[in-house]
Structure 1
Amino acid sequence: MLSQLINFLRACFRPRSDQNGQLGSDSGGKQDGLLWYKDTGQHFHGEFSMAVVQANNLLEDQSQVESGCLSTHDSGPFGTFVGVYDGHGGPETSRYVNEYLFQHFKRFTCEQQSMSVEVIRKAFQATEEGFLSLVTKQWPIKPQIAAVGSCCLVGVICNGTLYIANLGDSRAVMGRLVKATGDVLAMQLSEEHNAAIESVRRELHSLHPDDSQIVVLKHNVWRVKGLIQVRLLRKKGLGASYKYGVQTFLFPIFFVVAIC
Structure 2
Amino acid sequence: MFSWLGRIASACLRPLGRYVLMNKDDNDSLGGEDDALLWCKDLEKHSHGEFSFAVVQANEFLEDQSQVETGHHATFVGVYDGHGGPEASRFICDHLFQNLIRLARESGTISEDILRNAFSETEDGFLTLVRRAYEIKPLIAAIGSCCLVGVIWEVMKQGVWRVKGIIQVSRSIGDAYLKRPEFALDPSFPRFHLHEPLCRPVLRSDPSICKRVLQPNDKFIIFASDGLWEYLTNQDAVEIVHNNPRMGVARRILISAMKQACKKRQMTYNQLKKFDKGDRRNFHDDITVVIIFIDHAMLENKGSLPELSVRGFVDTVGPSNFNFPQGIDANTKSPI
| TM-score, normalization by structure 1 | 0.60
1:164-175 counterparts in 2 under 5 A?
A: 164-166=159-161, 168-169=163-164
Q: How many residues align?
A: 172
Of 167, 170, 194, 1:228 maps to: 167
Q: Distance in 1 between matches of 2:107 and 2:16?
A: 39
RMSD: 2.4
1:249–1:257 CA distance, 2 compared to 1 (3 A): same
Corresponding residue number in structure 1 for 2:116: 121
Kept in 2, the 8 Å contact 1:6–1:36? The answer is no
Higher alpha-carbon deviation: 124-133 or 51-60: 51-60
1:243–1:256 CA distance, 2 compared to 1 (3 A): closer
What are structure 1's unaligned runs of at least 5 residues? 11-27, 70-77, 170-193, 195-226
Kept in 2, the 8 Å contact 1:167–1:238? The answer is no
Kept in 1, the 8 Å contact 2:172–2:204? The answer is no
1:103–1:9 CA distance, 2 compared to 1 (3 A): farther
Of 82, 94, 97, 2:77 maps to: 82
Q: Distance in 1 between matches of 2:109 and 2:17?
A: 36
What are structure 2's unaligned runs of at least 5 residues? 1-14, 25-33, 180-197, 216-336
Q: Distance in 2 between matches of 1:29 and 1:88?
A: 27
Corresponding residue number in structure 1 for 2:175: 240
Deviation at 1:48, TM superposition (A): 0.4
Kept in 2, the 8 Å contact 1:94–1:150? The answer is yes
Structure in which a larger fraction of residues adopt helix: 2
Corresponding residue number in structure 1 for 2:46: 43
Q: Deviations over 1:40-75 (max 9, x none)?
A: 111111100011011112211100000116xxxxxx
Kept in 2, the 8 Å contact 1:93–1:131? The answer is yes
1:5–1:163 CA distance, 2 compared to 1 (3 A): same
Indicate the percent of aligned positions where both proteins have the same amino acid.
Answer: 47
Q: Deviations over 1:173-208 (max 9, x none)?
A: xxxxxxxxxxxxxxxxxxxxx6xxxxxxxxxxxxxx
| TM-score, normalization by structure 2 | 0.47
Answer 1 or 2: higher relative contact order, Cα 8 Å, separation at least 6.
Answer: 2
Deviation at 1:39, TM superposition (A): 2.8
SS in 2 for 1:39: strand
Structure in which a larger fraction of residues adopt strand: 1
Q: Distance in 1 between matches of 2:102 and 2:115?
A: 11
Corresponding residue number in structure 2 for 1:52: 55
Q: Deviations over 1:139-198 (max 9, x none)?
A: 0111111110000110000020111013523xxxxxxxxxxxxxxxxxxxxxxxx6xxxx
From the CA coordinates, give the structure whose radius of gyration is larger. 2
Kept in 2, the 8 Å contact 1:150–1:239? The answer is yes
